[in-house]
């Protein structure tokens, strides 16, 4: 692809480097260039934080002036030199002993990317996580490219009327004002990708976004070659009906993989960030068939070995489900290209409980992947229940869902003051390595330093919020809003009923007393959007608006409109306590509370998502229990209990810890928690740790498996398909005979008769299975070895094993499962036979 100039104007020659700096979104988390952009246009920089917009907007006179400003030119040269040093520097992955497995990048597909508010193609946590993933790949040098869509509108912008009713606005994303550029081929032509939809072909324009060392590629359908209706297919994120949603997912998956092929990127690993991108695995399989002369099953055996599906949804209702008739219309061209019957393709998106009426992209993603993971330890447990229908007769503990707990890109969420504090304690490169010394270094920070740091952060937040409220209107609302010395709580997330954003409103009188206590007052900052079609979520915002109109709480509770990355950054950098109140286990992970860690904020949260594995009493506070709330009906009793616990924890633990001071005015108990939270939790829940987990647990093993299955013209993949076909042909005739147990000498000796028909011994594994004990996480599996053939039978064998007598022999059950070296069972074969 060719490099060119993309500004609609010419910069004075001394300022030419500004263009390449503005187009690299590394400025969104590396603040070394902030002084440059502030000097260019201080007011516009404060309002937008978008260097590209500055370059398109600033006057010619200002540019000529800066072209002759030696201080500005020196700063520009320093930033350009720093950029080159960054691009050429060694990284964590460069030093990895298995780095050669990823000579080509991981392809990371996501429906949304939240990198910066200057590129508004995200709605919430899923997109912010994707943006943090990409930024961290830059920091650690992990070869990875992002694939998404460029929306003409993106997610809606929010305002509230006087009664608290949410108003939605959809401003146009003008690409010339965004830090994106057309992707051009070697002849300078705009790269276009073509995707077949029912009765026509849709043309997609390709764009590129530079994110440090990494690239994000975006597709949009607003091409004059398309029909008028098709030009709007990528107009809005999560907008429209089932059909428009399905169209977007087809464009993302199929169009996205075709773009990678066009770029010549032979990605060994495809990472699907949620089921929205599941169609990418179909196009990847088609491309493999064409390149290697394989049939569908053989090509899928190759490609699934290198496909990872990350699910973020804790309940089946959260998956994208489409009427089968609708899915059939859009997948018919795909089935034809894959050389399989349409019904077979549709069956990949069905679960037994769904019947024939629904096609679910999450089911397709599982059936086409070599690995599946949830985004927290608890979420993986929940997901094993959710995906159980795809693995009938398999124990829930063996449903193949692992986990990598989410993390946040710490350099993107820390304040300037926090960055200075951590640099002083841990060094400038702390988030680009393996974090071994971070905890020890932060624990050395003294109380006075931490308390002054926290006070400055709160003060800066309140100043920013007052400015925001002046812009938000009406006049006079900020005269007595907030207090720089008062305990400040933050609650910001999507307003959805299961997140219980109004748990604090359960007893309004008690909350009012808490906020207005004469010696120990509290103030609360709220932000969040409700989905335009979620009337319940919108009513929750209205209820807060009504409460905020009480005379005694005016200026103590603030709702910040139009929650976005910029607002989130201000809040997590300044609040003292982050409050999170979802119904367990409906929050798959939740990352908002992780973002306060680096800034010295503490957490008070339901024991759900990440907090269920992070919480310890010396680092924050928790409400709730290990019990789960029914995912369809909720539980009023649980909500009432959790609301009471929330008030009690604030009144009896949180507020006293903040206001009880020593003779120097320092809250020692609060700072003890703050120090431990910063030192122990920040590195553990950083995206640095998260991405290194993905690399070690998934990317490298999957890349290795892909290479193995591609070797020798996909010989292993061909044998795997033959093995699976053999099992399916004969499995109906496989059965058990007699099972005998003799207990002696401290062990149980099992002899098991098995009839395998024409299946060879090494194609299956005969084993004893016992459920895990109460204090164990994994079941007991003991392999039985064949010892003799049974005379006068076809396929009759006797298998033998001895197990310790530390638990009763009745705990063990014999079973037969598929076995093939390198195969992921039960993902690649879910057959299983149990001793009756």
Contact between 300 and 339 under an 8 Å Cβ cutoff? The reply is no
Residues 6+ apart with CB under 8 A from 196: 202, 333
Q: What is the pLDDT of residue 774?
A: 78
pLDDT tens track for 152-195: 987 889 999 989 999 999 888 888 889 999 999 999 999 999 99
Determine which helix (DSSP H) or strand (DSSP E) holds 542, and give its type and residue range: helix 535-548
Secondary-structure class of domain 436-685 per CATH: alpha beta
Helices 125-140 and 687-694 sit at what angle, rounded to 10 degrees?
A: 80
- 772-801: burial string, b at 16+ Cβ within 10 Å, e else: eeeeeeeebebebeeeeeeeeeebbbbbeb
Whether the CB-CB separation of 537 and 531 falls below 8 Å is answered with yes
> Strands 487-492 and 522-527, how do they pair?
parallel
Q: Do residues 259 and 287 touch, judged by C-beta distance below 8 A?
A: no
- Choice among 188-192, 236-240, 261-265 with the minimum mean pLDDT: 236-240
**Closest Cα to residue 27, out of 53, 51, 6, 8?**
51
End-to-end Cα separation, the chain, in angstroms? 62
User: Residue 555 has which token pair?
Assistant: 């200026």
CA distances from 785 to 176, 780, 796, 797 (A): 68, 16, 14, 10
Please indicate whether the domains covering 436-685 and 734-834 agree at the CATH topology level. no
Q: What is the pLDDT of residues 582-600, one digit of tens each?
A: 999 999 999 999 999 999 9
Radius of gyration in angstroms for the set of CA atoms belonging to the chain, rounded to a whole number? 29
Half-sphere exposure of 686 (CA within 13 A, CB side): 32
- Whether residue 39 contacts residue 107, with contact meaning beta carbons closer than 8 Å, is answered with no
SS3 360: strand
Cβ neighbours, 10 Å, residue 222: 18
**Residue 228 CB partners (closer than 8 Å, separation 6+):** none
Place of tokens 């099972």: 739
Q: Which two tokens stand for residue 152?
A: 């003409």
DSSP 24: B
Give the span between the Cα atoms of 141 and 61, in whole angstroms: 40
The average pLDDT across 106-112 equals 98
CATH code linked to domain 734-834: 2.60.40
117's CB contacts (< 8 A; 6+ apart) are 49, 50, 564, 565, 566
pTM score over 0.85: yes
412 neighbors 132 (Cβ within 8 angstroms):
yes
Is the pLDDT at 318 greater than 90, yes or no?
no
688-703: pLDDT as tens digits = 999 999 999 999 999 9
Q: State the average pLDDT over residues 316-335.
A: 93
- Could you tell me the CATH superfamily of domain 102-406+695-709? Glycogen Phosphorylase B; (3.40.50.2000)
Is the pLDDT score of 705 beyond 80? yes
pLDDT at 792 (0 to 100): 82
The mean-pLDDT minimum among 364-368, 372-376, 478-482, 692-696 falls in 478-482
How far is Cα 74 from Cα 782, in angstroms, rounded to an integer?
Answer: 69
pLDDT for 567 equals 93
**Mean pLDDT within 86-115:** 95
Percent of the chain scored above 90 by pLDDT? 84
Distance, CA of 211 to CA of 110 (rounded, Å): 15
Percentage of the chain lying above the pLDDT 70 cut: 98
Q: Peptide bond preceding 474: is omega within 30 degrees of 0, i.e. cis? A: yes
Quick: pLDDT tens for 32-47: 888 999 999 999 998 8
- DSSP for 402-423 reads EE----B-HHHHS-HHHHHHHH
214-237 pLDDT, tens digit each: 999 999 999 999 999 999 999 999
Per domain, the residue ranges of the chain are 13-88, 102-406+695-709, 436-685, 734-834
CA nearest neighbour of 525 among 583, 589, 579:
579
pLDDT the model gives residue 629: 58
Whether the per-residue pLDDT at 476 is higher than 60: the answer is: no
Looking at residue 5, its pLDDT comes to 59
Whether 55 contacts 19, CB under 8 Å: yes
Q: pLDDT by residue (tens digit) across 332-349? A: 999 999 999 999 999 999
């Amino acid at each position: 692809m060719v490099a060119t100039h993309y500004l609609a104007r010419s910069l004075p020659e001394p300022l030419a480097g500004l263009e390449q700096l503005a187009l690299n979104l590394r400025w969104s988390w590396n603040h070394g260039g902030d002084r440059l952009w502030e000097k260019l246009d201080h007011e516009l920089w404060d309002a937008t934080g978008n260097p590209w917009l500055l370059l398109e907007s600033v006057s010619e006179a200002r540019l000529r002036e800066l072209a002759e400003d030696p201080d500005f030119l020196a700063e520009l040269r320093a930033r350009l030199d720093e950029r080159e040093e960054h691009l050429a520097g060694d990284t964590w992955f460069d030093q990895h002993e298995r780095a050669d497995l990823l000579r080509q990048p991981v392809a990371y597909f996501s429906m949304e990317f939240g990198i910066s508010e200057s590129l508004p193609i995200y709605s919430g946590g899923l997109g912010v996580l994707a943006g943090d993933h990409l930024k961290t790949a830059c920091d650690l040098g992990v070869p990875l490219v992002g694939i998404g869509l460029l929306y003409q509108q993106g997610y809606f912008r929010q305002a509230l009327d006087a009664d608290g009713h949410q108003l939605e606005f959809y401003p146009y994303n003008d690409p010339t004002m965004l830090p994106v550029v057309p992707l051009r081929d070697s002849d300078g032509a705009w790269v276009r990708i073509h995707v077949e939809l029912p009765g026509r072909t849709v043309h997609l324009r390709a764009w590129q976004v530079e994110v440090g060392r990494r690239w994000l590629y975006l597709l949009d359908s607003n091409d004059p070659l398309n029909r008028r209706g098709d030009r709007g297919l990528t107009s809005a994120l999560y907008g429209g009906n089932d059909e428009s949603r399905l169209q977007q997912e087809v464009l993302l998956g199929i169009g996205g993989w075709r773009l990678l092929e066009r770029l010549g990127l032979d990605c060994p690993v495809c990472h699907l960030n949620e089921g929205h991108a599941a169609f990418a695995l179909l196009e990847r399989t088609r491309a493999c068939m064409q390149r290697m002369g394989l049939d569908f099953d053989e090509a899928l055996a190759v490609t699934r070995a290198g496909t990872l599906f990350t699910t973020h949804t804790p309940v089946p209702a959260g998956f994208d489900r489409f009427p089968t008739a609708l899915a059939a219309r859009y997948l018919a061209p795909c089935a034809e290209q894959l050389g399989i019957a349409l019904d077979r393709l549709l069956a990949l998106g069905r679960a037994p409980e769904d019947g024939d009426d629904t096609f679910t992209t999450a089911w397709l993603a599982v059936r086409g992947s070599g690995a599946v993971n949830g985004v927290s330890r608890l979420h993986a447990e929940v997901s094993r229940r959710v995906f159980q229908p795809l693995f009938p007769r398999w124990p829930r503990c063996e449903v193949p869902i692992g986990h990598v707990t989410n993390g946040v890109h710490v350099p993107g969420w820390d304040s300037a003051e926090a960055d200075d504090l951590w640099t002083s304690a841990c060094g400038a490169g702390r988030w680009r390595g393996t974090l071994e010394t971070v905890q020890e270094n932060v624990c050395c920070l003294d109380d006075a330093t931490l308390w002054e740091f926290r006070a400055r952060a709160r003060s800066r937040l309140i100043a920013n919020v007052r400015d925001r409220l002046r812009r938000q209107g009406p006049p006079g609302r900020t005269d007595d809003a907030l207090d720089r010395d008062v305990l400040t709580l933050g609650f910001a997330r999507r307003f959805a009923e299961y997140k219980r954003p109004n748990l604090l409103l359960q007893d309004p009188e008690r909350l009012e007393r808490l906020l207005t206590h004469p010696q120990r007052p509290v103030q609360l900052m709220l932000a969040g959007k409700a989905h335009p079609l979620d009337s319940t979520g919108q009513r929750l915002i209205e209820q807060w608006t009504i409460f905020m109109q009480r005379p005694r709480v005016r200026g103590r509770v603030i709702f910040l409109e139009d929650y976005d990355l910029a607002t989130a950054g201000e809040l997590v950098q300044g609040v003292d306590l982050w409050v999170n109140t979802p119904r367990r286990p409906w929050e798959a992970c939740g990352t908002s509370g992780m973002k306060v860690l680096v800034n010295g904020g503490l957490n008070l949260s339901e024991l759900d998502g990440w907090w269920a594995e992070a919480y310890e009493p010396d680092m924050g506070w928790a409400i709730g229990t290990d019990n789960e709330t029914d995912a369809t009906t909720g539980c009023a009793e649980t909500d009432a209990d959790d609301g009471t616990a929330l008030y009690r924890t604030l009144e009896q633990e949180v507020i006293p810890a903040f206001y009880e001071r020593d003779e120097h005015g320092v809250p020692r108990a609060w700072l003890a928690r703050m120090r431990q939270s910063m030192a122990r939790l920040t590195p553990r829940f950083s995206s640095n740790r998260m991405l290194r987990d993905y690399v070690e647990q998934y990317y490298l093993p999957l890349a290795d498996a892909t290479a193995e299955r591609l070797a020798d013209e996909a010989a292993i993949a061909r044998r795997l398909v033959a093995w699976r076909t053999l099992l399916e042909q004969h499995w109906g005739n496989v059965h058990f005979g007699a099972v005998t147990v003799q207990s002696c000498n401290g062990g149980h000796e099992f002899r098991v008769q098995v009839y395998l028909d024409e299946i060879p011994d090494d194609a299956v594994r005969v084993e004893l299975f016992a459920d895990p004990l109460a204090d164990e996480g994994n079941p007991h599996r003991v392999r039985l070895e064949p010892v003799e053939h049974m005379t006068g039978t076809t396929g009759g064998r006797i298998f033998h094993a001895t197990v310790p007598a530390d638990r009763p022999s009745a705990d063990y059950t014999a079973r037969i499962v598929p076995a093939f070296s390198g195969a992921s069972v039960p993902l690649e074969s879910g057959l299983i036979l149990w001793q009756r």
